[in-house]
Structure 1
């Protein structure tokens, strides 16, 4: 069965976007230099499917990369109630994210990357459907914004399998116990 991975960055105080929804704070403590490690390039080699919510899709296509779809090497499922036309690489669906992931896990393929947003992530975490958590902690305290995990009623125990730090950021990799 396919694995589901959350690969995301958050502020030190647990936010994935500021109170305006912006992610322009997602940088290390210094620009460029030898302190950079490309964890993204290594991670995506094991991925062929992306899952994201509408707000994440909209932010990517209007702010972060308006001229080019940056996830063209993958099949992307965008969870939305809006009516959009599918393309070869982008599938719009109003299916419940939990059911969608359960169905995708049964198909042949590489890992499924849960890309965002918070609502989609929280639904999958609540059902304990994330197999691997790749979380980069950014050296910024936002104070408010969009929380990665929100409030939970039940605990999920994780096992730390890897850490690395560079440019003030810390990568944490956990699996379910």
Structure 2
């Protein structure tokens, strides 16, 4: 896909040349965030930060999205570092899983929920419905998570909200 450059009507910009995110800003933000997350025993290595930066780029490409500046991952990391389910051993993988989940859900709710609200609701679902398992959300509960967020934000249609009230929710793992 190509777009015309407004400065020169004869030149074209290749969409594949546009950066989807600022990986240096993201990496710097994650390094700085290590100071905060270290209080909870969580720390990302340079290798993990590079891997997360690559994962963000891949998730953005797969979801046809772009980010400005450091993006949403530092917000996710800061919100989730206080969870009792997050450990030094699962922290980096959890962040990688959550970035994919975040963009899937953001697309599913058609951007009707702010990024910060979505992160807060994602954490609530992770802790209280998925019992600390991003794998459960990603592999089985994406649709339930979307409905949960739509209910919490009041963006469900009445019939769907009635069908998915708190009394009818059953946890299939129990």
TM interval, shorter chain, is: under 0.3
Q: Which has the higher strand share?
A: 1
> Which structure has the larger Rg?
2
More helix by share: 2
Relative contact order, CA 8 A, sep 6+: which one is greater? 1
Normalising to structure 2: TM-score of the pair? 0.21
Q: TM-score by structure 1 length?
A: 0.20
